[in-house]
Amino acid sequence: MSALTSMPPAPLAVPADVAIALTGVEKRYGTHRALAGIDLAVGRGERIVICGPSGSGKSTLIRCINGLERHDGGRIVVNGIELTSEDGTVQDVRQEVGMVFQHFNLFPHLNALENCMLAPRLNRGLSRAQAETLAMKHLERVHLADHVRKYPGRLSGGQQQRVAIARALCMEPRILLFDEPTSALDPEWSTRCSASWRNWRRAV
């Protein structure tokens, strides 16, 4: 953290067509270096997959990009916003970045529609009707229009995952992060889901 604050505030030269730029990113847990000097540049419209054995820091890397983990060194620039130790920048970055989790982490007390409506209503001050229209649009896009009133506990793994995607899309992010999105699904669903992403002309 202190390394970040003492860093000169000179803006990093990031080309306009780069969505995510990481330079020399470090993350330590105690003495363990989870990320040791990661350099990465992801262009706009580019889709990339990060592979590696478990414990190699894939999740840590992805979680640093939207500030769920604070990096200990190096610089992260997302959509032109540099992640610093100031709280405001993390919030700014999160408005640009959507994330789908390994275990989906849907809100269990809200139905599929309400899951999608929560963030647009709270962050962007949309009215109930506006948020509902937006949520319906994205839920239809993931073919869940028939299940919008169901609570997460009543949805299958694949359906939950699509709600999670719709929920992220409702914030209309420029960047979408997926953290092992198919590992909680059975093989059939995981192939189906990967196939549907391939058709998407959006992510990253």
Partner 1 sequence: MTGLPIDLTLARDSLPALLVGLRTTVFVVALSLLFGLALAFPICFARMSKLRFPALMAETFVVFFRGAPVLILLYLVYYGFGQIDALRNGPLWILFGSAWGCAIVALSLNHAAYMTEILRGSLLAVPRGIVEASEALGVSQRNIFLHVKMPLAIRYGLKAYQNEVVSFIKGTAVVSVVTITDLAAVANGIFEETYDPFTPILCAAALYWAFVNLVRIGFDLWGRWLDRHKMDRERAPVPVLQNVPTRGRLLRQIGRVRGRVL
Cβ neighbour number for residue 21 with a 10 Å cutoff: 21
Query: Phi and psi at residue 165, in whole multiples of 5°?
Result: -65, -45
Q: Does 197 bind partner 1 (CB under 8 A)?
A: no
Among 44, 47, 151, 204, binds partner 1 (CB under 8 A): 151
> Which residue is it, tokens 């809200």?
110
Piece of the chain touching partner 1 by CB under 8 A; list 5-13, 91-99, 185-193, 196-204: 91-99
Among 12, 50, 122, 145, binds partner 1 (CB under 8 A): 122
Q: Does 95 bind partner 1 (CB under 8 A)?
A: yes
Q: Does 154 bind partner 1 (CB under 8 A)?
A: yes
- For every residue of 109-172, DSSP letters joined together read TS-HHHHHHHHHHHHH---HHHHHHHHHHHHHHTT-GGGTT--GGGS-HHHHHHHHHHHHHTT-
Piece of the chain touching partner 1 by CB under 8 A; list 16-24, 31-39, 45-53, 119-127: 119-127
Minimum distance from residue 148 beta carbon to partner 1 (Å): 10
Minimum distance from residue 63 beta carbon to partner 1 (Å): 8
Among 39, 45, 109, 200, binds partner 1 (CB under 8 A): 109
The two structure tokens encoding residue 3:
């390394």
Among 5, 56, 91, 194, binds partner 1 (CB under 8 A): 91
Among 4, 167, 182, 193, binds partner 1 (CB under 8 A): 167
Q: Does 118 bind partner 1 (CB under 8 A)?
A: yes
Secondary structure class of 180 (helix, strand, coil): coil
Report how far apart, in Å, the C-alpha atoms of 10 and of each of 2, 4, 6 are: 17, 12, 12
CA atoms within 13 A on the CB side of 126: 18
Q: Which residue type is seen at 192?
A: R
Q: Does 150 bind partner 1 (CB under 8 A)?
A: yes
Cβ neighbour number for residue 120 with a 10 Å cutoff: 21
| Residues making contact with partner 1 (CB under 8 A) | 66, 68, 91, 94-95, 97-99, 101, 103, 105-111, 118-119, 122-123, 147, 149-151, 153-154, 164, 167-168, 171
